Amino acid sequence: MVYAVIDVGGNQVIIEPGKFYDINYIYANPGDTINFKRILFLSKSNQFKVGMPCLSDVVVKAKVLRHIKGKKLTIFKVKPKKNSRLKKGHRQKLTRVLVEDIIS
């Protein structure tokens, strides 16, 4: 089993080849191939590599499938005794990527 931990969009994601993941929005068109170079950890069979902080000889190839929006959040603020109420909504922009290969 091969898996890696990558740093993308300020988050650390555990990835495996052949699976898709939703990450923060990336400026790329659907169908584009992108490379992730900030690899923090790599595990192949019984061997593993740990970066300090990143591995320089490992690249993760991924394909952008589509851009989506995340789950809707409702923000409701109330200031008591001031008759002030504020209701806002937010949906985070996400990019769905398919991890094709981990090249080491």
Question: What letter does residue 101 receive in the DSSP assignment?
Answer: E
pLDDT at 22: 95
Domain count within the chain: 1
Rounded Cα–Cα distance for residues 50 and 30 (Å): 31
Rounded Cα–Cα distance for residues 102 and 48 (Å): 13
Q: How confident is the model at residue 72 (pLDDT cuts 50, 70, 90)?
A: very high
For residues 9-30, give the mean pLDDT.
Answer: 93
pLDDT at 1 over 90: no
Domain region containing 19: 2-103
Q: How confident is the model at residue 34 (pLDDT cuts 50, 70, 90)?
A: very high
